Structure 1
Amino acid sequence: MTELDSFPAPPPQSTRPELETDYTLSRSDIRHFAEHGFVKLKNVLSPETIEAYEPEITGKVIELNTQHLPLEERDTYGKALLQVTNLWQDSERVLEFVSSPRLARIAAQLLGVQSVRLYHDQALYKESGGGVTPWHADQYYWPFATDRCVTVWIPLQETPMEMGPLSFAAGSHTFEHGRDLPISDESERVLQEALAEQEFAEISEPFELGEVSYHLGWTFHHAPPNTTDIPRRVMTVIYVDAAMGISQPVNKNQEADLANWMPGNQPGETISSPLNPILY
């Protein structure tokens, strides 16, 4: 049995062929990603495709969510997000979305690698009244040997500034200060000051429907509160170089990620668990 045999096969004919077709990246898109550690891309998904998958994703978030405290009783991280991970394991419809060759091919092109595999997916829903998502870098949580990992951030609705779109510190993927900080009030305070001192421009813009962003694991980012009366619905997929090696975990979060998202794998090995199939 190969690693791919354990990953459920998508339906023979996708209900949305757009997920199977190529998206054309420009040289300036690839250059922007390399220089700034992120890129925003318009019209990656059509409104029809988003409309076809959003109800299933949202339904699974509601079904699988384990956060039931009122907003006012949560800590900063709890106020920022409802986070549900690996929805693809609970829904063939979500699997079809997460395993999209279109989205994976963009990731491979931006990373400059031949092939990418799935690390995991995450639905990140910011409720009405949800608070700030503090400054952080995702790779703090991931025991990876290189920086060839990227997240696609896919809003499932038009996302104005009032709804809390993702904001990036352009070029901060080269900045090592603060990489030891988990998402917290401290990371928001320390990184806000440090990134400003280094004059990393903060890029904070709304997202059109169908526009997505890709950012490297070490790119610092955050998001403002959602001051609207509508939840900010976002689906993400994290891709890694198919040849990614696993490093020795340096914190408890990385130990947990190794156990949860790469079961059976050990430091020094290449990622190859049944949860991490090659997508492109």
Structure 2
Amino acid sequence: MTALPHAPVCELDTAYDGLTPTATADFNRDGFVHLSGVLSPEAIAEYEPTITSEVIRLNTQHLPLAERDTYGKAFLQVTNLWRENEKVKRLVFARRLAGIAAALLGVHAVRLYHDQALYKEPGGGITPWHADQYYWPLSSDRCLTIWLPLQETPLDMGPLAYARGSHNFSYGRDLPISDESEARLEEALAEQDFEDVVEPFALGDAGFHRGWTFHHAGPNHGTEPRRVMTVIYMDADIRVAEPTNRQQTRDLGWMPDTEAGRIPSTPLNPVLYDGRAD
């Protein structure tokens, strides 16, 4: 295996110094945070080509955009790339990223749920309003997703947008991502005056959002794919819950052989950061 340049690898293992003293409280209030300089442009440049090549290799969506449904037009989706490529694994397992997740959640340690590459092609459509935790059979809300763009993401490429404070809104939690979730949540969130926060992302920026934070994204009007890597982190002491829908039953596969009420301490769900071990 070819050795990686020294700087990006070290960066992944060092602490991020951009969290303010109120970051955890702000995250709890808003349900999300947009952080600058989470990774350097050099680190992004080191990992993006490998992630992109793996997405191309593993993608199973081959229909033309015009023949896909709304979900299919939203993005190409490839999950658990860390199991396919050692270099991608180094990024997914980065203590720097997991440490931010633990700090924002206010927990000592976090473990991996799974990763996802989400690539919105040029001409790709909207990502409908939804909350990720609809899909997760987990016992608490101590879980979040990092949304890490692998290029500068101006507004015309469809950056992720969040409804500020919507993680405290229970309406719509029974809706999978769909045309129905887009229509019903757009109306309900507007009626409740939740601010729709959409901002461009500079190279190296990342967004973190809670499992119940409602979010969406616009279409990609750019000429290049909107390339994004995501990682889902959960409190290391979280327990598996009884599924409440078909999608949660399917998602039990990300925590194999773990019964409801048990901590998902499996080879697929390693602890990625434990502040008590420092």
* TM-score normalised over the length of structure 1: 0.94
SS at match of 1:270: coil
Contact residue 24 and residue 106 of structure 2 kept, 8 A: no
**Matched residue, 1:6:** none
- Distance in 1, matches of 2:243 and 2:24, equals 30
Paired position in structure 1 for 2:276: none
User: Residue 267 of structure 1 is aligned with which of 260, 269, 278?
Assistant: 260
Deviation at residue 273 of structure 1 after TM alignment:
1.6
Kept in 2: contact 1:153–1:235 (CA 8 A): yes
* Aligned residue among 85, 92, 108 for 1:91: 85
Residue 118 of structure 1 contacts residue 279 of structure 1 at CA under 8 Å; is this kept in 2?
yes
Task: Report 1:186-201 matches (<5 A).
Answer: 186-201=180-195
2:60 is the alignment partner of 1:81: no
Q: Partners of 1:31 and 1:269 in 2: how far apart? A: 29
Q: Which residue number in structure 2 is paired with residue 207 of structure 1?
A: 201
Alignment TM-score, normalising by the size of structure 2 = 0.95
Pairs within 5 Å for 1:53-64 = 53-64=47-58
SS of 1:57's equivalent? Answer: helix
State how 1:116-265 maps to structure 2 within 5 Å: 116-259=110-253, 261-265=254-258
**CA shift for structure 1 position 15:** 5.1
What number of residue pairs does the alignment pair up? 269
**Cα displacement (A) at 1:169:** 0.1
The CA distance in 2 between the partners of 1:81 and 1:269, in whole Å, is 33
Displacement of 1:240: 0.1
**Residue 101 (str. 1) matches residue 101 (str. 2):** no
Q: State the shift of 1:31 in Å.
A: 2.2
CA deviations over 1:234-268 (Å, ceiling 9, x no partner): 00000000001111001110000002x01111111
Name the aligned partner's letter for residue 139 of structure 2: A
Distance 2:197 2:23 in 1: 15
Structure 1 unaligned runs (5+)? Answer: 1-9
In 1, the alpha carbon distance for the partners of 2:121 and 2:8 equals 29
In the alignment, structure 2 segments of 5+ residues that lack a partner are: 274-278
Of all paired residues, the percent bearing the same amino acid is 62
Any idea what the Cα deviations from partners look like across 1:30-58, whole Å, max 9, x if unmatched? 22211000000001100000000000000
- State the superposition RMSD in angstroms: 1.3
Counterpart of 1:276 in structure 2 is 269
Q: Contact 1:47/1:210 (CA < 8 Å) preserved in 2? A: yes
Residues 180-229 of structure 1: per-residue CA shift (max 9 Å, x gap): 00000000000000001111101011101111010000000000000111
